[in-house]
């Protein structure tokens, strides 16, 4: 029997892509809470990122340290930084790349998206792949409103060893510094009426996102 409520299967590029939701950061301006679990429109913020990525990818995972049980309701693998003294989104990207490498050849890309970007586009993964392929680049990064969003990006699993070396031997921490080592494609989205990569860092941002959700309903 066909489940009419099931999401459509991912496109071929999506089948080969792990959707990695980055739930890091200290969220100091939100009171030091676990940002992905902050309620937005009555649901944990991370649930919206999961909802957006699920139909676009062959598999999803959450990048987060601490007790994985707090994400149990989502039924997804929770990937820790290794070692955990790595900090920042690059360490989360590395965890995703190495997770794919361990699973074998099917997953060849990781599409990373912050948990606090609840309005991510429905063509996020497809457009990143299209931009990378069209320019012959190694990486593809999202762009909107004149800004480049290096943590909303497409990463080849083949870069896992090089990224681990950069983190452990060079102490590299900035995503843009690692991305700058490779040919880079920018995938551009319009920022009106809503910037799809609007992220929530403060109570004012959360109030604005609530208003956007209400308007959407």
3-state SS assignment for residue 85 = coil
**Is the confidence at residue 31, as pLDDT, over 60?**
no
Query: Residue 5: which pLDDT band, with cuts at 50, 70 and 90?
Result: low
Domains of the chain, CATH where assigned: 12-216 (3.90.550.10)
- Cα(21)–Cα(93) distance, integer angstroms: 9
Check if the beta carbon of residue 53 is closer than 8 Å to that of residue 23: no
Instruction: Calculate what percentage of the chain has a pLDDT beyond 90.
Output: 69
29 vs 169, residue with greater confidence: 169
Q: Does residue 2 carry a pLDDT above 50?
A: no
* CA nearest neighbour of 114 among 151, 79, 70: 151
d(CA 179, CA 141): 9
Q: What percent of the chain has pLDDT over 70?
A: 88
- Higher model confidence: residue 69 or residue 34? 69
For residue 1, the model assigns a pLDDT of 43
Q: What is the pLDDT of residue 217?
A: 56
CA dihedral for 186, 191, 196, 202, sign (positive or negative): positive
Q: Which of 162, 139, 135 is nearest to 150 (CA)?
A: 139
Collect all residues with Cβ–Cβ distance below 8 Å to 71 and sequence separation of at least 6. Answer: 23, 36, 46, 62, 64, 78
pLDDT over 90 (residue 49): yes
Q: Is the pTM of this model over 0.85?
A: yes
- Residues 6+ away with beta carbon under 8 Å from 68: 78
Q: What is the mean predicted confidence (pLDDT) over 139-164?
A: 97
Q: Is 165 exposed, middle or buried (0-12, 13-18, 19+ CB in 10 A)?
A: exposed
* DSSP summary character for residue 202: S
């Amino acid at each position: 029997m066909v489940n009419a409520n099931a999401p459509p299967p991912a496109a071929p590029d999506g089948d080969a892509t792990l959707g990695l939701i980055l739930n890091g950061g200290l969220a100091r301006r939100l009171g030091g809470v676990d940002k992905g679990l902050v309620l937005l429109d009555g649901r944990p913020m991370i649930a919206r990122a999961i909802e957006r990525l699920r139909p676009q990818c062959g598999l999803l995972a959450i990048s987060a340290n601490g007790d994985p049980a707090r994400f149990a309701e989502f039924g997804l693998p929770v990937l820790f930084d290794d070692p955990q003294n790595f900090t920042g989104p690059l360490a989360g990207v590395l965890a995703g790349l190495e997770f794919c490498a361990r699973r074998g050849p099917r997953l060849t890309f990781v599409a990373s998206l912050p948990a606090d970007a609840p309005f991510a586009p429905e063509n996020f993964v497809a457009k990143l792949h299209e931009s990378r392929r069209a320019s012959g680049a190694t990486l593809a990064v999202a762009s909107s409103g004149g800004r480049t969003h290096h943590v909303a990006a497409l990463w080849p699993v083949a870069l896992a060893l090089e990224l681990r070396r950069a983190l452990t031997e060079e102490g590299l921490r900035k995503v843009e510094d690692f991305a700058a080592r490779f040919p880079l494609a920018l995938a551009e989205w319009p920022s009106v009426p809503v910037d799809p990569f609007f992220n929530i860092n403060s109570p004012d941002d959360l109030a604005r996102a609530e208003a956007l959700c209400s308007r959407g309903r």
